């Protein structure tokens, strides 16, 4: 692949009628990377993913996915990509083994019994291989869906909010599998709303109203936001937050348990705005901005721009 990018696209655009859902997005994803794709609901994330894997034809743009042209070679791309949807999309009245065999049959794979057995063992499904999919918990359904995505040995996995509705332990196990696979050279593009998951990615991109607002490593994305954040300790922080939010320089005043995060992208103006409140019984401490602070900042910033 040129320059070792699994995905290398420019100007990717998709319109439905007069509404532009994805607007001239450029994106490069190195091979073996776990790339987080963030943004509010309806921002265009899923549409962009579907264009990459050949399920939707772009209205404009060019580039490659796994070395194939995203416009001309969509059928070739589909054979090399695994796509895991947010909703469980397998047969609940079939067992895990039967579902995986069905997927292997759809891909025209040879030696299906061996492939199914290998997939079941690698994802830790052996004890449940003969259990009906409809009887599985959310975490086990997710693990089975991942096994199905991998059965044809793809080079790229596109995962659309794969851990929605899954308990924290299952989410952690899932991410351990993802990192093991990435270490072997598999590339991931993952949409998520969980900030702890975003921080597990090698790189991130944030999209809103179809526009790519920022991208890079977690540190680069945080630095690009230019936020200054204060942590406030003290009583009745909700009442304090209400007083702070009316200040133009205070772009966020968000409760985190019994503490408050106060943020703004103009450090001098923010210092002036909070000065009258930096008195007992409150204790103020400047802290590095986190991904959640940045995520909320970008969401609020994008509201000022009307959807195209």
CATH assignment of the domain containing 8: 3.40.50.300
C-alpha to C-alpha distance for 67 and 90, rounded to whole angstroms: 30
182 plus 247 within the same structural domain: no
Residue 250 CB coordination number (10 Å):
20
Same domain, 248 and 193: no
Percent of the chain with pLDDT over 70: 97
The DSSP call for residue 131 is: S
Q: Which two tokens stand for residue 113?
A: 């019994």
Residue 51 domain boundaries: 2-222
- Encode pLDDT of 5-36 as tens digits: 999 999 999 999 999 999 999 999 999 999 99
Residue 297 lies in a domain: no
pLDDT tens-digit map of 223-272: 999 999 999 999 999 999 999 999 999 999 999 888 999 999 999 999 99
Question: Is the model's pLDDT at 149 over the cut of 90?
Answer: yes
Residues 109 and 249 in one domain: no
Q: Domain check: are 148 and 208 in the same one?
A: yes
Q: Are residues 152 and 279 in the same domain?
A: no
Quote the pTM value.
0.86
Is the pLDDT reported for residue 86 higher than 90?
A: no
Residue 104: both structure tokens together: 């292997």
Domain co-membership, 83 together with 108: yes
In a domain, 301, yes or no: no
Rounded Cα distance, 308 and 294, in Å: 23
Q: How many domains does the chain have?
A: 2
Q: List pLDDT tens digits, range 166-211.
A: 888 888 888 999 999 999 999 999 998 888 889 999 999 999 999 9
Q: Which helix (H) or strand (E) holds 12?
A: strand 5-16
Q: Tell me if 308 is assigned to some domain.
A: no
| Rounded Cα distance, 68 and 81, in Å | 12
98 plus 148 within the same structural domain: yes
């Amino acid at each position: 692949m040129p320059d070792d990018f699994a995905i290398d696209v420019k100007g990717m655009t998709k319109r439905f009628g007069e509404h532009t859902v994805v607007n001239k997005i450029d994106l490069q994803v190195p091979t073996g990377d776990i790339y987080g794709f963030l943004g509010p609901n309806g921002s265009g994330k899923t549409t962009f993913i579907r264009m990459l894997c050949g399920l939707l034809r772009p209205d404009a743009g060019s580039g490659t996915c796994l070395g194939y042209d995203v416009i001309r070679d969509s059928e070739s791309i589909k054979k090399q990509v695994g796509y895991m949807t947010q909703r469980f999309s397998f047969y609940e009245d079939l067992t895990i083994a039967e579902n995986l065999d069905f997927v292997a049959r759809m891909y025209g794979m040879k030696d299906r019994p061996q492939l199914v057995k290998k997939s079941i063992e690698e994802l830790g499904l052996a004890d449940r291989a003969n259990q009906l999919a409809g009887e599985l918990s959310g975490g086990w359904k997710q693990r089975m869906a991942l096994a199905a995505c991998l059965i044809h040995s793809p080079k790229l996995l596109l995962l659309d909010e794969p851990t929605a509705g899954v308990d924290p332990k299952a989410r952690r196990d899932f991410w351990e599998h993802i990192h093991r696979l990435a270490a072997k050279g598999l590339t991931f593009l993952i949409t998520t709303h969980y900030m702890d998951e975003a921080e597990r990615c090698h790189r991130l991109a944030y999209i809103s109203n179809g526009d790519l607002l920022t991208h890079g490593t977690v540190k680069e994305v945080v630095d690009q936001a230019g936020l200054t954040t204060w942590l406030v300790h003290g009583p009745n922080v909700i009442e304090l937050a209400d007083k702070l939010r009316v200040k133009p320089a205070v772009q966020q005043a968000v409760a985190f348990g019994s503490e408050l995060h106060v943020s703004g992208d103009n450090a001098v103006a923010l210092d002036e705005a909070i000065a009258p409140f930096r008195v007992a019984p409150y204790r103020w401490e400047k802290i590095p901005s986190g991904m959640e602070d940045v995520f909320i900042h970008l969401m609020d910033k994008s509201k000022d721009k009307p959807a195209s």
